[in-house]
């Protein structure tokens, strides 16, 4: 087990460079098997979630050539074999192999996906989408068998604008015969990045980034080169750290529009920021800060993935702030640990009420999931004294070189095996 140890209360100065988006990369890697030639993707972050997907590629006999700058994926000798539990359970996004294998071979067999325990996380909408395209879905011994004689374009309405279902259906439909329309599609920037990748390979997808996506099936997908967008959640996490500990702190290589909802909240509460074309510099906080309320929502609303780190900032605002989580039923697992550090927070149903400002004092805490873990890092950097975060593996699933990046701006942070 890994543990992160932080000596908090230090000011952080300099700049942090954000890597490629986890939630785009984890879809792009499975999507790459759809090419008949090879795909080169640069800016894939070095995190354990992308490592786990590359292991699945190797299981499928796909050639993977990884360097620091790019990953070259060549599926010309691949086989379509069952993805066993030891591979599928390592992360949620293993389920993108269902759509990609179905799209390529009209058959996918894989065990249940894993991932953070932040809610029930059903995949009924993915499966309904596959069925609408002509596939049958069987669920036996904790595995899904999805197969089709033919895949035919269809009109698919998603009851919820699900990121995963939108991407998985795009992957399955890209080589289907005819036209597929996904209505009430998710609009997250990661969806646009995946659609652009597929189009770079010769797919015909329009409307990504809006709630209606149109996919005209094609027979072949060719060689391509693609770049992953910057990780908006990693960017937001460091900007929040900058607000609490920066003096000043610049977060580089980002697309500020992707985090408009966070930036406008920061301005509202009194954090001074400079927004550049590809950076945000956190200059400091006003003397008089204001409390605020946030409600998580699908893009462009306030992202659920930033809710947990942002809650730490709310503990430092005077008065009463509220956080309402609308996407995941179990995303308040960081709250007991924030309380242990000294925060005053009450959770009722899906709303946390935070009374501040409260001084945080370092203690032993747990990263219960990826973003809860990120919240513990934010809290540990702010808190006086030493914070030890166990189960730090969760954090490394989504934050590339987090310890090294924070050390470079002056944090006293280390990671060790316990
Ligand atoms: N949902 C269903 N049925 C489905 C699919 C989703 O009911 O078939 C529900 C979910 O239970 C949830 C809501 O719809 O309540 C939204 O789920 P969505 O499918 O959009 O989420 P996801 O694709 O499983 C991705 C990210 C999450 C992020 C959400 C929301 C990946 C690999 N994961 O999950 O990221 O929170 O979108 O933006 O892209 C994270 O990075 O920490 C993380 C959890």
3-state secondary structure string across 151-201: CECCEEECCCCCHHHHHHHHHHHCCCECEEEEECCCCCHHHHHHHHHHHHC
Q: Is 116 a catalytic residue?
A: yes
Atom of ligand 1 nearest to the CA of 126: 8
Give distance in angstroms: CA of 269 to centre of ligand 1.
28
Q: What is the pLDDT of residue 363?
A: 98
What is the spatial distance between Cα 30 and Cα 17, in angstroms, rounded to a whole number?
26
Q: What is the pLDDT of residue 112?
A: 87
* 100: nearest Cα among 39, 31, 17: 31
**Contact 375 CB / ligand 1 (< 6 Å):** no
Residue nearest to atom 25 of ligand 1 (CA): 163
Residues whose CB is less than 8 angstroms from the CB of residue 297 and which lie 6 or more positions away in sequence, other chains included: 326, 327
Which element (helix H / strand E) includes 213?
A: strand 212-216
Which element (helix H / strand E) includes 254?
A: none
What is the spatial distance between Cα 261 and Cα 287, in angstroms, rounded to a whole number?
23
Q: What is the pLDDT of residue 141?
A: 85
**Which stretches in the chain have pLDDT values below 50?**
none
Q: What is the pLDDT of residue 113?
A: 87
Q: What is the pLDDT of residue 116?
A: 76
Residue nearest to atom 23 of ligand 1 (CA): 164
Q: What is the pLDDT of residue 244?
A: 97
The dihedral built from the CA positions of residue 158, 398, 208 and 264, taken in this order, carries a sign that is: positive
Catalytically annotated residue among 42, 116, 224, 245: 116
Give distance in angstroms: CA of 305 to centre of ligand 1.
10
Backbone angles phi and psi of 166, in degrees to 5: -60, -45
Q: What is the pLDDT of residue 114?
A: 85
What is the spatial distance between Cα 416 and Cα 410, in angstroms, rounded to a whole number?
19
Backbone angles phi and psi of 382, in degrees to 5: -85, -35
What is the spatial distance between Cα 229 and Cα 367, in angstroms, rounded to a whole number?
26
């Amino acid at each position: 087990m890994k543990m992160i140890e932080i000596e908090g209360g230090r000011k952080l100065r300099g700049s942090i460079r954000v890597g490629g988006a986890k939630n785009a990369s984890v879809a792009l890697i499975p999507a790459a098997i759809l090419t008949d030639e090879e795909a080169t993707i640069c800016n894939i972050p070095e995190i354990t979630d992308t490592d786990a997907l590359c292991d699945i590629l190797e299981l499928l006999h796909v050639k993977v050539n990884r360097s620091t700058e790019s990953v070259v994926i060549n599926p010309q000798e691949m086989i379509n074999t069952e993805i066993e539990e030891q591979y599928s359970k390592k992360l949620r996004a293993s389920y993108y192999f269902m759509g990609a294998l179905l799209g390529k071979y009209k058959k996918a067999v894989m065990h249940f996906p894993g991932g953070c325990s932040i809610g029930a996380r059903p995949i009924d909408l993915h499966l309904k989408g596959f069925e609408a395209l002509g596939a049958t879905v069987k669920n036996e011994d904790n595995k899904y068998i999805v197969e089709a004689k033919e895949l035919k374009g269809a009109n698919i309405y998603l009851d919820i604008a699900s990121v995963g279902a939108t991407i998985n259906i795009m992957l399955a439909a890209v080589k289907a015969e005819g036209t597929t329309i996904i209505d009430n599609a998710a609009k997250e920037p990661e969806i646009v990045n995946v659609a652009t990748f597929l189009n770079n390979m010769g797919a015909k997808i329009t409307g990504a980034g809006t709630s209606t996506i149109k996919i005209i099936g094609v027979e072949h997908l060719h060689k391509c080169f693609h770049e992953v967008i910057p990780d908006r959640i990693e960017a937001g996490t460091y900007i929040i750290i900058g607000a609490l500990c920066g003096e000043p702190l610049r977060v580089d290589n980002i697309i500020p529009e992707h985090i408009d909802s966070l930036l406008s909240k920061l301005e509202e509460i009194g954090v001074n920021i400079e927004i550049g074309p590809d950076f945000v510099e956190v200059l400091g906080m006003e003397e008089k800060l204001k409390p605020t309320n946030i409600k998580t929502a699908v893009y462009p609303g306030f992202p659920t993935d930033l809710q947990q780190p942002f809650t730490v900032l709310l503990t430092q605002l005077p008065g009463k702030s509220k956080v309402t989580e609308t996407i995941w039923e179990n995303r308040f697992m960081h709250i007991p640990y924030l309380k242990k550090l000294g925060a005053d927070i009450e959770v009722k149903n899906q709303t946390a009420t935070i009374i501040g400002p409260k001084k945080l004092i370092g203690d032993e805490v747990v990263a219960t999931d990826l973003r809860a873990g990120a919240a513990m890092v934010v809290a540990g950097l702010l808190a006086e004294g030493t914070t030890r975060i166990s189960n730090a593996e969760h954090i490394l699933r989504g934050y590339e070189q987090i310890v090294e990046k924070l050390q470079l701006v002056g944090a006293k942070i280390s990671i060790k095996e316990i």
